[in-house]
Amino acid sequence: MASGYSFIFDGIASDAFGLSIAYLNDFDWKQASGGSNSLTTDQLTRSAAAILLNVEQSPVLKFNIDIVSENKLDMQELITIKNWLFGSKEYKKLQIVSDGFAGTYFNCFLMPENDFMFATGFHGISCSVECDSPYVMEFSKKKVYTYTGESSTQRFFNVTADLQEIKPKITFKMNGAGNFSITNQSYNNLLFAWDSLLDEETITCDCMTGIITSSTQLRRFFNFNKTFLKLKNGVNTLLFTGNISELTFEYQNRKRIGGGIY
């Protein structure tokens, strides 16, 4: 059996049940690699080259794990564990306590397969892990920008494995009444702009969901140019214009990590 690792599922540590993730004697050294894409192509008559029409980030990451206990589990303990692991109607976070998975989680469903029943009794469960994407998620990160004056050029390095742009949650606080904008000079000068805001007003704009809130409780949709900020893969050069006292980006990266134990 391969060495086991503690894990956290839906905020509950496996140590509470004396469980760990391990692979028993049928351990397969080939594990799902993660981060797969599928291509849609076409081909012209008499042409040897394929024409790329679309890149889809699929299929989702799937792999198998064994959840085992060194001590015998009675029937009630086994039922309690199954209710914890398999009783969900939505994706849950699975964290593997290992250096290779530090700071990341699988957003997934666990699907039961087999119970492990030895001579001494029940000792665990085998199950499959089915994620919501081909990637592992990093926990949310925050990037704080500070500057003095009316404008500043800053950089943001987008290192996510996701082929789509990062759409951050942006929070900024005005230092005096007026306007504020961010121009992504690396993305065709994409302009994220606000006007006629109040002194010390704090705006939070989630560029992924489109939800906007203001510390004044005023509706600020009509003070916004309706263009949400996007951060392309690689280096983004950002021009901040306007007098603010605080500015924070909150975002999540995706990583190409497979389903094996690292």
Residue pair 237/185 in contact by the 8 Å Cβ criterion: yes
Higher pLDDT: 32 or 71? It is 71
Q: How far is CA 73 from the centre of its chain?
A: 34
On whether the CB atoms of residues 232 and 158 are closer than 8 A, the answer is yes
CA angle at 66 for the pair 38 and 160, rounded to the nearest 5°? 35
In 119-260, beta strands by DSSP E: 121-131, 136-138, 141-145, 151-158, 169-174, 178-184, 190-197, 202-206, 212-214, 234-241, 244-251, 254-255
Indicate whether 1 pLDDT > 90.
Answer: no
Q: What pTM does this model have?
A: 0.81
Query: For 180-219, how does the pLDDT look when each residue is reduced to its tens digit (9 = 90+)?
Result: 999 999 999 999 999 999 999 999 999 999 999 999 999 9
State the pLDDT at residue 163.
84
Average pLDDT over every residue of 246-256: 94
Which residues belong to CATH 2.40.30.200 in the chain? 7-138
Give the chain's count of helices (H) and strands (E).
1, 20
What is the predicted pLDDT for the residue at 4?
82
Pick 7-138's CATH classification: 2.40.30.200, 1.10.3720.10, 3.40.30.10, 3.30.70.1350.
2.40.30.200
Under CATH, what is the fold of the domain 141-255?
Jelly Rolls (2.60.120)
Distance CA 80, CA 93 (A): 19
In whole angstroms, give the CA distance from residue 230 to residue 54: 20
- The residues of the chain that CATH labels 2.60.120.860 are 141-255
In tens, the pLDDT along 48-95 reads: 566 654 556 557 899 899 999 988 999 999 999 999 999 889 999 999
Please answer whether residues 189 and 183 qualify as being in contact, where contact means their C-beta atoms are separated by less than 8 angstroms: yes
- For the ranges 116-125, 156-165, 250-259, the maximum mean pLDDT occurs at 156-165
CA 133 to chain centre: 9
